[in-house]
Structure 1
């Protein structure tokens, strides 16, 4: 029996403070990143609200505003690199100035 994909899954967590509200542009960038890393699961948590990064609408529905602390959890073979990329999107100046 082949090993399950979970046997090779890594877990990475990051926490970021948003420089600006989480709006459509960074939400779209997150969904695109999630689509490029289908073998990973990317979850965002802001307060009591959770969202799968694959869904632009779910990310935006979190209602995360400037200063919100967002916890990022990535599970999968590329978890550390993907978590770093998510944190970069959430804190980038480009997203902040959009």
Structure 2
């Protein structure tokens, strides 16, 4: 592991199984709150949002089938990116 994990960067690309609504947006904000040293950025098309802002995430207007890129910078970036990707793809299981 490098001397400083502040420069760790991880990226995940997911295709949304459901529209990005309040529940996953809130879960992403909670994830960001638990990892204060990390920055979680979402990109869908030309729209970007910091995961700390529920309204910013929802304002992206990402619908079913949208490809969302999650970029995490900071300590534990790989694990945080995995968890963020899981939140975005878990909408399918929640409806089952």
**TM-score, normalised relative to structure 1:** 0.89
Equivalent in the alignment of 1:50: 48
Write out aligned runs for 1:1-98 (5 A): 7-8=4-5, 9-92=7-90, 93-94=93-94, 97=95
SS of equivalent to 2:25: helix
Which runs of at least 4 in structure 1 moved beyond 2 Å after TM superposition? none
Could you report, residue by residue, the CA deviation over 1:44-87 in whole angstroms, capped at 9, with x for unpaired residues? 00000000000000000000000000000000011000000000
Work out the CA distance in 1 between the residues paired with 2:39 and 2:18. Answer: 24
Q: Which consecutive unaligned segments of at least 5 residues does structure 1 have?
A: 1-6
Work out the CA distance in 2 between the residues paired with 1:52 and 1:67. Answer: 20
Cα displacement (A) at 1:30: 0.2
Question: What is the number of residues matched between the two proteins?
Answer: 90
Q: Which consecutive unaligned segments of at least 5 residues does structure 2 have?
A: none
Work out the CA distance in 1 between the residues paired with 2:51 and 2:35. Answer: 11
